[in-house]
Homo-oligomer: A and B are copies of this chain.
Amino acid sequence: MSTIVSLNKVLTEFYDKMASWESSVVRESEYSLAQLHTLEVLGNHGAMNMKSLAHHLGITTGTLTVQVDKLVKLGLLQRRYSEQDRRSITVALTDAGQAIHEHHNALHLSLTEELTKDLSQVDRDALIALLSKVNQEF
């Protein structure tokens, strides 16, 4: 098998397994996949406007408006109105939203620990370096 095919295989396999894991974790929580994903992106990247958030999530801004409405009502998000550009709205986690993000992130950390438990320190550092390069190319 060619290198590219092998690379593609391990990358897509990782992606699929991660998606499957995420589903099962979300199923046990009181929030939906879409809701947790929204909190996750904001937690990992910080507050951002609707357009950027929609792009990160891979949905339209119309869908996101509805989603944000619900999360605001639940007290997990807040809308902040920009002074510079009054069309733009910054979406940010509330303290409650941040707490849920942190709880979810702890699950991710446990998974990462489990997934890499058999790697040496050298291997872990190598994986970090290689994936960083890959991520930059997106």
Contact = CB atoms under 8 A, between A and B. Distances in A.
Interface stretch (A78-86, A94-102, A123-131): A123-131
Contacts of A114: 137
A124 B18 CA distance: 21
B10 A132 contact: yes
For the complex, would chain A's binding face be called helix, strand, loop or mixed by DSSP majority? helix
Total copies of this chain within the assembly: 2
A130 B126 contact: yes
Interface residues of A, number: 56
A138 to B, nearest CB: 4
Given A12-B108, A125-B3, A128-B10, A135 B22 contact: no
Interface string A30-51: 0000000000110010000000
